[in-house]
Homo-oligomer: A and B are copies of this chain.
Amino acid sequence: MNETAPTRQARIKQKSAARRERSKQETRQAILEAAIQMFQREGYEGFSLRQVAENIGYTPTTIYLYFKDKDDLLFAVCSQGFTEFTQALQHAYDTHPDPGERLNALAWAYLEFGLSHPLHYQMMFMQRSEWVLRASDSKNEVQNSNSYTIQLNAVVEAMKAGVIRLGDPVETTNLLWSGIHGIVSLALNMKGVIPKWDETEVRQLVGQYTEMMARGLRP
């Protein structure tokens, strides 16, 4: 309505609002960090809203001012995992120009993420896998920067380069992803259940896996 230049009061109001917004984001962040810490300690099943609140000196209900509900907070924890995961894959992608080595590098990066973030991995891909979509949506990385697409691109380019046989790239990507996911998820779950299944054996298995994939997919 008022089209004249902003008055001093208007400017102050704006900055004040900005400051309050910033403060709000800060406490939101504090809650989130406490939640992450708690998740690292207690895992998915032991994660408790009330304990998170207690750890940072808030009443449980206060959390609801910053997150819709427990799921929403847990998703925020998860989301950070997705970001790191994508970054790890992206880094592997970027630092390996050769299409063949690139596929291997992606598999290794995948493995390393799983082994170093076991709880996150389980939540992201085993307990709440619906969130994969929501995570890439909320970071508008739908188009070409989500973790799935990174792997898909690597497959496409490996096909172009003649490193692996031609075929439906989506199917091949799913095949490769399934394989490495199987190894990682069993590695996290089956310690002491499968014979020969400590961390070094798992790494060795990934070595065999990439070799075998290379042979199996050769043009």
Contacts and interface: CB of A to CB of B under 8 A. Distances in A.
A176 to B, nearest CB: 10
A187 to B, nearest CB: 9
A189 B133 contact: no
10 nearest interchain CB pairs? Answer: A182-B182, A216-B216, A212-B216, A178-B182, A129-B189, A178-B183, A215-B216, A181-B182, A132-B193, A179-B179
27 contacts: A126-B189, A130-B192, A130-B193, A132-B190, A133-B193, A148-B194, A148-B195, A170-B195, A170-B196, A171-B201, A171-B205, A171-B208, A174-B196, A174-B197, A175-B208, A175-B209, A175-B212, A178-B182, A178-B205, A179-B182, A182-B183, A211-B216, A212-B213, A212-B216, A212-B217, A215-B218, A216-B216
Interface of A: 125-127, 129-130, 132-133, 148, 170-171, 174-175, 177-183, 185-186, 189-190, 192-197, 201, 204-205, 208-209, 211-213, 215-218
